[in-house]
Structure 1
């Protein structure tokens, strides 16, 4: 759980305080503290001696986002569109993080070493959670994603840049896997053999969403790109979802990527880091709660083809992530951060076992989709 908890302030790091001052020169800096559990960008919460006590300061990881200026352009386009929608429809309660301008009017600041910094407003009296707490929380996670998709459903994808080209394009990940396997020989272990056989047995279904897109059965829409449970802000009092954060991956894509990834994140009660592989299961009750929340708004913009490919998305996204983890393991752990040499192998096993559980429950999941639509 990432709580917004105020602790005794310490003397702020002078370099961080200097960077924070570029965005709020008018207010004394009380504290600059690491914030959240993200593993891509460096994120800090800045405490001010002012009426608006906090804002978020981030250094964008330019090894992942090669053109961070496009992220800022997307964020400006997206936040203005949502603000206009909220104002036009008099929708209260939903909040959108806003960009704070640096001195000179730029939406970012570049430090002496080339670090790319941006600042956004902080949403007070709310928090995120690293796992689903109960079915009400699951419902709010689904509602948040549905709300997000609804608010940007009329935003033209041509106005958004693709900041992570190839992200969630499963056939591309499979091609990379084949290239890596041609150059590296993985250890002769039972778990490795399981992964090799599992990937081979699913090869024909990897392109299901991309084929549907190519056949114009599914269309590009704006998506969040990383709709994990810990990117949903929950109000401390109402316990309702009030925002989605971590907007760097907003880009054109299939809403199915978001729906499948959200359910992958929520419906594995043991979490992504478990090593109790035989106990991994896809929780249908959580799935029901998330989909109920999502479809309360999703019914407005989903069509027949969208529904027809929902199960495929639910099955594909955990397989895709498992494929990426296993590929990285074979390649020598060059992309994902690891704590031990077989960490990515364990992560891959979790996702493949989750995929197996989804496949065993295909009839029930399809029936659930039909019931809720």
Structure 2
């Protein structure tokens, strides 16, 4: 561990380190480092190149955004350290890529909002972040995960998985397959005419750091999926994570529904931060973005179940099948209310 840290901080001494389990993709550690008589926490992270096949593109996008955002930006950006040879990443002897960030002190993140005030704050904070990029040329960003939010292509893959799935899994998921196909056929949302913007693409609550004392958002983090996209899908991500009365892991579907009060809080916070620049078409697309993102995630879970859980993995038999049922129930409840 110390040898890795020294690729970013010469002569550093590692006093302690602990794995962080919050991130599902990368291998992440919180490291206490002493250097030149100063002691400070950092985040050391090994990139998952099975998911992010172009790690240098990930870091290039981050640097471009850092250069664009001006001093009026009220939140913190992830502060990545350079390696000792002035690079963005260190490649170890096993071919693994590592990076290091300054740890944001007195901060915390949440999987579930501890109070309603955090929902409005999440909407406001992502709105502030997107507003800082409103004039950025999204075409400068590299695609770190191609077709990340592309409903038609996700559905095409889903159809392929139906054709190749084993008969047992097809039988188990028949009702959800039929229901997903019906939702897709009836989906009339068209986001193609919206402005192409630099967007986060993973706007979940856990990608925000909150001040432990005040509860205000300090930073938007995890910019690895920063790519060209639409405001609608970023808002849809927020809705998927913050407006379900249960988590996506809930198996009791009676507990799963769309929380309209949370939606109003989220939308209010978001629009408060974006009202000066959001176009009319973008404002009108927000609910449609939620429709697309929730359906897309149901398709992804069900596709993975049919593909023997090769992408998300499964903690128990039928895990991704249950996740898909959860999202389809959530979507049906949302469409009844907005």
Same fold (TM over 0.5): yes
Q: 1:205 to 1:109 in 2, by over 3 A?
A: farther
Q: CA deviation at 1:191?
A: 6.0
Q: Does 1:310 align with 2:286?
A: yes
Q: Does 1:133 align with 2:118?
A: no
Deviation per residue, 1:63-98 (Å, 9 max, x gap): 00111010010011112222xx1x2x3x55x21111
What value does the CA root-mean-square deviation take over the aligned residues?
A: 1.6
3-state SS of the aligned residue for 2:233?
helix
Report the Cα distance in structure 2 between the residues aligned to 1:320 and 1:353, rounded to whole angstroms: 13
**Count of aligned pairs:** 336
5+ residue gaps, structure 2, are none
Q: CA deviation at 1:194?
A: 2.2
Contact 2:256–2:330 under 8 Å retained in 1: yes
After the TM superposition, which residues 196-275 of structure 1 pair with which residues of structure 2 at under 5 Å, given as runs? 196-205=177-186, 208-209=189-190, 212-213=191-192, 217-275=193-251
Q: CA deviation at 1:206?
A: 5.0
3-state SS of the aligned residue for 2:232?
helix
Aligned position for 2:88:
107
Deviation per residue, 1:86-113 (Å, 9 max, x gap): x2x3x55x21111101111111100000
Q: CA deviation at 1:286?
A: 1.1
Q: 1:186 to 1:168 in 2, by over 3 A?
A: farther
Q: 1:189 to 1:61 in 2, by over 3 A?
A: closer
5+ residue gaps, structure 1, are 1-15, 363-373
Report the Cα distance in structure 1 between the residues aligned to 2:95 and 2:266, rounded to whole angstroms: 41
Deviation per residue, 1:194-234 (Å, 9 max, x gap): 2112112122355734xx31xxx212101111111111111
1:66 aligns with one of 53, 59, 66: 53
User: Which region of structure 1 is more displaced relative to structure 2, 167-176 or 186-195?
Assistant: 186-195
Contact 2:5–2:12 under 8 Å retained in 1: no
Q: Does 1:175 align with 2:162?
A: no
Contact 2:169–2:306 under 8 Å retained in 1: no
Aligned position for 1:77:
64
Deviation per residue, 1:252-305 (Å, 9 max, x gap): 111111100111101113101111112211111111111111111111221121
Deviation per residue, 1:115-142 (Å, 9 max, x gap): 0111111111111011011110111111
Q: 1:194 to 1:42 in 2, by over 3 A?
A: same
Q: Does 1:27 align with 2:12?
A: yes
Q: 1:191 to 1:310 in 2, by over 3 A?
A: farther
Report the Cα distance in structure 2 between the residues aligned to 1:206 and 1:114, rounded to whole angstroms: 44
Contact 1:186–1:330 under 8 Å retained in 2: no
Q: CA deviation at 1:250?
A: 0.7
Q: CA deviation at 1:238?
A: 1.7
Q: TM-score, normalised by structure 2?
A: 0.95
3-state SS of the aligned residue for 1:32?
strand
Aligned position for 2:269:
293
Contact 2:2–2:12 under 8 Å retained in 1: no
Q: CA deviation at 1:187?
A: 2.8
Report the Cα distance in structure 2 between the residues aligned to 1:188 and 1:119, rounded to whole angstroms: 42
Report the Cα distance in structure 2 between the residues aligned to 1:190 and 1:132, rounded to whole angstroms: 37
Report the Cα distance in structure 2 between the residues aligned to 1:361 and 1:60, rounded to whole angstroms: 40
Contact 1:21–1:29 under 8 Å retained in 2: no
Report the Cα distance in structure 1 between the residues aligned to 2:184 and 2:269, rounded to whole angstroms: 32
Contact 2:43–2:101 under 8 Å retained in 1: yes
